[in-house]
Structure 1
Amino acid sequence: MNTRQPISHTAKPTSPKLLCVSFNQDQDCFAIGHENGFRVYSSDPMVERVKRTFNKSSSSSRSGIGHISMLHRTNFLSLVGGGKNPKFPINKVIIYDDLKKKNTLSLEFMSPVLNVFLSRIRIISVVETHVYVYAFSSPPKLIATYETIRNPYGVSDLSNSLSINNDTSPTAPSSSSSLSSSSSLLLSSSSSSPASQSSVNEILAFPGRQPGQLQIVDISPQHQHRNLISIFKAHRSPIRCISLNRQATMVASASETGTIIRVHSISNCSLLYEFRRGLDKAIVYAMKFSPDGTKLAVISDKQTLHVFRLDRHMSSKATGGSASRDSTPSPSTTDSSALSSGNPGAVGATNQDSLNRQHFLRSLPIFTSYFQSQWSFVSLHLSPNPSLTTASSSSTVNSSSKATGIGNSHTAEKFNESINSNSQINDRAALGWSSDDSIILVWKFRGKWEKYVIVKNESTNEWGLEREGWRSFGEFQ
């Protein structure tokens, strides 16, 4: 009698289709790295702009890209090796000039590189216990090194904004570098660099040296010699996710617990908002502010997309003095009291006019801070497979999947009824905004692009999320 275990004939993917996904500074483009090279796409609509394959000559050649960062829409990208056959060492950052099809700069470290950020004047490399800031010049010049708590996921963020200043004109990059003369655009035909009439404000955020600490550093050229640093306690647990708004006035953070999202002012480290994602512990792995800074999108490993509303009045308070800090603030007493008492009564998130959902018992003083929390004004449980409810083609638009606000994601529960065997793999999505009401998700494991739009139902006066389209990346060869 044959007692051998049957061999499963179902092919299960064992590695993600995309090794990495990264949006550019304006989030109008994104780059992906895979086992054979990298590609660049426009965010909305998803259109391939650049395709680079490194293993054309030999199938065994090293070609995997594990991390990629774009410099706006220019021809410069940062590459770090990854995958089964890394193109470059995982402890080395390569600045790649796509116009010349060659490596321009190289930075090597003693440990694997976990994150890289580019600006027109800076290169920031994040390793497990340090953050390195270099001048974007040839050769790169080390400007500062910051020690952090153990940061195995490279949690950090960079925001750069322009302020009009007719008296200053920063160089980007250094005039002694050959990069400035060859920084032609990769995806557009005209440059929009206003260096002659504006100054650059660059804010870098990363974990501090203690669990829950958040460190804010101004690495702008006009402030680098003053070493403006803010360190404050944002959470009790170690920080898992950080996001800066485009205006460089607010920073959002989530801890490893993942139940609370806090938004602080960069200028004085005061607590502006405290949002509740849920009650269960979850890994918040992606957060992004909308371009106008009035919404915050959050994704966790619960595969739920939350969007929180930030009141314009409170958001404007975060702008005061953010570009002209002259001293290093002490740890935020406002946030410390909020952490100890759990009472966000003085926080802007308790605005009665907010679109975010609140508990109906919030006005009673006898209840705990849970009843005073604010939930997302719209949320959606994401489908593990977009094709379950759409056509079987590789691209679909005007999909019918919707979820209303008020947190009712029951309309998306039908996605779970037909989950296949691949659903056991917890996929991760890169998050970006193509407009103030349009969210782009790029899934790494299954290689999917999705677009969700925030819409208002005029008949019920409720807000919701509607999936407007999705598309598959296909095979990378």
Structure 2
Amino acid sequence: MNLARHSITPTEPVHIFNAQFDADCQIFTASTPAGFAVYQAWPLTLLRKRGTFLDIGDLFTGGTLAAVVPSHTSSLLFLLGGGPSPLYPPNKVILWDDATRVEVAELEFRERVRGLACRRGWLAVALRRRVVIFEVRDTVVRRAEYDTCDNPRGILALATAAYATLLAIPGRQMGHVQLLHLPPCVPPNPLGPPPSVPPSKPPPPPLKHPVSMIAAHESALTTLSLPPSGRFLATTSSRGTLVRIWDTTSGKLLREFRRGADTAEIYGVAFRPDEKEIGVWSDKGTVHLFSLVSSGASNRQSSLSPLTPFLPLPKYFDSEWSYAQYRIPTQAAHISLSSTSSVRSSHIDLAADEKCVVGWITVPSELAGVAPDFQLVVLTYSGGWYRLALPPKVSQSSPSATGSPPKSPSSFRQRTSSVSSVTSLPDKGKGREREKDKKGSRELVLQEYRKYGRWDGWG
């Protein structure tokens, strides 16, 4: 499970400062030295671009952006200056209407903006030691301000489903999380003919007052994640070994997952839309999948885990490990998706500073009457777009009998003719371990690989 750091930098790097999914993972934005673009998440389609190579009237010529945050699938974008030649000062947030190419509003602060989160009608801005809340309607009104502990990453999370209220921000003490409640999120305006299914109704109020503080970790927080409903909260810390899932009403710790045994930087946690699984990604170049329900795939555990109630074993042996994962390969390892042959690449080391972002999409099933499939889309900051399917449903054998959780496989299985086949070089002396790994773990299946981020037709 201790995966070496490796590089996913292509031979001709594509510099992407930031990539952001909208709340529903239907679109995403990418900011580069040339400007920014808005893409449809799947099928990958370039919707529009704003940058140096556009007409003279483009307002973005001559400046770079650190982040472009989409507000659902509307034309409203939140822009944050940054990069080698910032278009705006880093202490400003610009509300941009991309349909009319007009700056709607400008929010200025006395210090650098660290992070943004938005939902319909609301914007939360994270500064170094506070979070400021704005209501965004016909006008932008400052509604509240909350103190936090030192928050250089600008982490915060908003529940975005209809009638959701939760905002999660760091607490005043390191490792703590404040749970705040804003006015309910308004449902989206329906488009086209009236739907056959009646619109959802506001949920009943909780039977007891929800908690306002969770002591999540002893070390500094690195990520906060909420599903659209806001029922759960996922937290990670600077150690990067554990992912904890909390009930946001009671504050109870529901599950604790182990990403690995060594320190890593976890970039994010994404809840599946039906809240049955989570995807976790880090600077190790891997995407891990954990199950949140007992009826689905089983997370891996040590063969000694049943003995932990009776023996004073370290907590490590009682940990739940990901039931599936995907290691992002180098760009050189990819081949044409129409080819059926596999490719071996000697350039399998990936860089430690490569970043990525992961989102869930819903793909219609090819079979009539079958529910849509959930898949993952991975966006690397070197310009790679990966669509990953969940592993085939097969019975899992018992975990490894060595007393430690099974390690992840180091090679890729043979794919079908409709997807690319990627194979890594075998590790010396690891043949036996690799055979054991295949029995105890499964891989996400690469369905499609494309590039994004350049203005030369990649979209």
Letter in 1 for 2:32: H
Partner of 1:277: 259
Partner of 2:316: 370
Identify the match of residue 379 of structure 1 among 298, 316, 325: 325
What's the offset of the Cα at 1:312?
A: 6.5
3-state SS of paired residue (1:206): strand
In the TM superposition, what are the counterparts of 1:77-88 in structure 2 within 5 Å? 77-88=77-88
Partner of 1:146: 146
- CA separation of 1:96/1:398 partners in 2, compared to 1, >3 Å: closer, same or farther? farther
- 2-side partners of 1:251 and 1:399: how far apart? 42
2:452 aligned with 1:465: no
Partner of 2:383: 447
What's the offset of the Cα at 1:369?
A: 1.8
2:361 aligned with 1:434: yes
- CA separation of 1:260/1:460 partners in 2, compared to 1, >3 Å: closer, same or farther? closer
- CA separation of 1:60/1:455 partners in 2, compared to 1, >3 Å: closer, same or farther? closer
3-state SS of paired residue (1:151): coil
8 A Cα contact 1:55 1:62, kept in partner: no
Identify the match of residue 234 of structure 2 among 252, 258, 283: 252
Partner of 1:219: 182
Partner of 1:65: 65
8 A Cα contact 1:454 1:463, kept in partner: no
In the TM superposition, what are the counterparts of 1:13-412 in structure 2 within 5 Å? 17-54=15-52, 56=54, 57=56, 61-162=61-162, 200-221=163-184, 230-311=212-293, 355-364=298-307, 365-366=310-311, 367-383=313-329, 385-391=330-336, 396=337
3-state SS of paired residue (1:380): strand
8 A Cα contact 1:287 1:297, kept in partner: yes
- 1-side partners of 2:65 and 2:347: how far apart? 33
**Structure 1 residues 146-182: Cα deviation after superposition (integer angstroms, max 9, x where no partner):** 11111111111111222xxxxxxxxxxxxxxxxxxxx
Partner of 2:392: 456
- CA separation of 1:267/1:458 partners in 2, compared to 1, >3 Å: closer, same or farther? closer
- 2-side partners of 1:474 and 1:211: how far apart? 36
What's the offset of the Cα at 1:457?
A: 5.6
Letter in 2 for 1:377: Y
* Structure whose residues are more often helix by fraction: 1
- CA separation of 1:228/1:91 partners in 2, compared to 1, >3 Å: closer, same or farther? farther
What's the offset of the Cα at 1:437?
A: 2.9
Q: Which is further off, 89-98 or 462-471?
A: 462-471
TM-score, normalised with respect to structure 1: 0.71
The sequence identity of aligned pairs, in percent, is: 27
8 A Cα contact 1:158 1:204, kept in partner: yes
Q: Which is further off, 455-464 or 83-92?
A: 455-464
- CA separation of 1:209/1:292 partners in 2, compared to 1, >3 Å: closer, same or farther? same
- 1-side partners of 2:247 and 2:298: how far apart? 21
- 2-side partners of 1:106 and 1:368: how far apart? 52
3-state SS of paired residue (2:110): coil
What's the offset of the Cα at 1:455?
A: 2.2
3-state SS of paired residue (2:230): coil
Equivalent residues, number: 367
- CA separation of 1:102/1:312 partners in 2, compared to 1, >3 Å: closer, same or farther? farther
- CA separation of 1:302/1:12 partners in 2, compared to 1, >3 Å: closer, same or farther? same
What's the offset of the Cα at 1:118?
A: 2.1
- 1-side partners of 2:340 and 2:234: how far apart? 31
- 2-side partners of 1:118 and 1:290: how far apart? 19
8 A Cα contact 1:37 1:54, kept in partner: yes
What's the offset of the Cα at 1:460?
A: 7.2
Letter in 2 for 1:126: A
3-state SS of paired residue (1:370): helix
- CA separation of 1:36/1:447 partners in 2, compared to 1, >3 Å: closer, same or farther? same
- 2-side partners of 1:135 and 1:207: how far apart? 21
8 A Cα contact 1:400 1:466, kept in partner: no
Letter in 2 for 1:390: I
CA RMSD in angstroms comes to 2.9
Letter in 2 for 1:102: V
8 A Cα contact 1:251 1:265, kept in partner: yes
8 A Cα contact 1:397 1:469, kept in partner: no
**Structure 1 residues 23-57: Cα deviation after superposition (integer angstroms, max 9, x where no partner):** 00101111111123211111111111111125654
- 2-side partners of 1:68 and 1:432: how far apart? 16
Runs of at least 5 residues in structure 2 that lack an aligned partner in the other structure: 1-9, 186-204, 363-372, 398-440
- 2-side partners of 1:54 and 1:104: how far apart? 22
Structure with greater contact order relative to length (CA < 8 Å, sep ≥ 6): 2
Partner of 1:172: none
8 A Cα contact 1:61 1:85, kept in partner: no
- 2-side partners of 1:458 and 1:248: how far apart? 31
3-state SS of paired residue (2:80): strand
8 A Cα contact 2:30 2:453, kept in partner: no
Letter in 2 for 1:125: V
